[in-house]
Amino acid sequence: MGVAGTETERTARTSIGVDFADAGLEAGVGRVLEAVEGELRQAVVSADPLVSTAARHLVEAGGKRFRPLLVALAAHFGDPTSPEVVKAAIVVELTHLASLYHDDVMDEAPVRRGAPSVNSRWGNALAILVGDYLFSRAASVAAELGPEAVLIQAETFSRLVHGQIAETSGPHGGEDKLRHHLRVIAQKTGSLIATSARFGGMFGGVTPEQVEALAEYGETIGVAFQLSDDLLDIASESEQSGKTPGTDLREGVPTLPVLYALASTDRDGPSVRLREILATGPITDDALHAEALRLLRESPAFAQARDTVRAYADRARSSLAVLPDEPARRALESLCDFIVERTG
């Protein structure tokens, strides 16, 4: 059965946070995603069986297909039946998948999407090279869409790489840590989501002004989503965030509430104790970890981080003002509501 029709796949799309209040829109988006799913498997085939197997690994592991979903939604402001819409969705998903292969090597991740990662199964060298292959396939499909698409995809790839380098090297030249964190998220996450919304508008045939509005929405909602994950890592009592709560604290990964807490100038009260614990870096001691989680959840820094997420969601919503008030716009607005609600 295709992507459009299964209950599991509809649930996955809903879990992203999009409210499909309009049955026609949901069916239209489902048709695009169904076509993407089939063509994606063909796009990663190689003459080398090993490359094909490794390249199909994450495709077949599934995923929410958030970026193709945004392509499809943005195209509904114009003509979503254009065959270029499906190709554009494949470009962004291939680019995303390629980045995951590289990320898993950087992070030494043993698992991705519930399956052994490519690097743990075949080694780092093959994972990097297959990631490169997927980037090349994305560029090849982009070439079928014309030189403008190739340029946009190349610029997006450049931003992804710069974001990864910035995350790895850390702030430099006196750069503020919070500003650095937001820049990394915009480059690593926001850039490709912006391109997804841009491509949907472009190849759906909407006006240039609307294309720019969709791209702005994509970048901003991408940052908002990632920042909300920062909060979920602290706030969730279960594995709502997709990982054990407080994982970032254990690994010493700086996140939005942690950065706000470290920047606090309070000289007494719980904030002082919280800064003392956070300043030690990775918090591997269970008792200290539990204390840090509790203090963070109750801190002004956490409330400040929640306000920041809300501000990004509001900005994303406001960028849609130039678009017509129709089901696709309301679906995109529902994503803003979801991000605010999931972080309390």
Q: pLDDT tens digits for 181-212?
A: 999 999 999 999 999 999 999 999 999 999 99
For 304-319, write each residue's pLDDT tens digit.
999 999 999 999 999 9
Query: Which residues have CB under 8 Å from 310's CB, separation 6+?
Result: 340
Name, in order, each residue with C-beta under 8 angstroms of 249's C-beta and a sequence gap of 6 or more.
233, 234, 258, 282, 283, 289, 292, 293, 296
Q: Where in the chain is the domain with CATH 1.10.600.10?
A: 1-206, 208-344
- Answer for the pair 59, 40: CB distance below 8 angstroms, yes or no: yes
Residues 33 and 69 sit within 8 Å (Cβ to Cβ)? yes
CATH level 2 (architecture), domain 208-344: Orthogonal Bundle (1.10)
pTM of the model: 0.90
pLDDT of residue 227: 95
Structure tokens at 325: 């008030």
State CA 31 to chain mean position distance.
22
- CATH number of the domain at 1-206, out of 1.10.10.60, 1.10.600.10, 3.40.640.10, 3.30.470.10? 1.10.600.10
As a whole-number percent, the residues of the chain with pLDDT over 70 amount to 91
Banded model confidence at residue 180, pLDDT cuts 50, 70, 90: very high
Q: What is the mean pLDDT of residues 269-284?
A: 91
Q: Once rounded to an integer, what is the mean pLDDT over residues 123-152?
A: 92
In whole angstroms, give the CA distance from residue 106 to residue 264.
31
Residue 295 is predicted with a pLDDT of 94
3-state class percentages of the chain: helix first, strand second, coil last, to nearest 5: 75, 0, 25
**Residue of 124 and 134 predicted with greater confidence:** 134
The string of pLDDT tens digits covering residues 219-271 is 999 999 999 988 998 987 654 445 577 888 998 888 999 999 999 988 878 88
Q: What is the pLDDT of residue 5?
A: 45
Number of residues written out for the chain? 344
- Model confidence at 122, pLDDT cuts 50, 70, 90, reads confident
Per-residue pLDDT tens over the stretch 264-275: 988 878 889 999
Instruction: Provide the pLDDT for residue 215.
Output: 98
- Are the CB atoms for 21 and 327 separated by under 8 Å? yes
Whole-Å CA distances, 181 to 8, 163, 220, 234, 255: 34, 10, 14, 17, 8
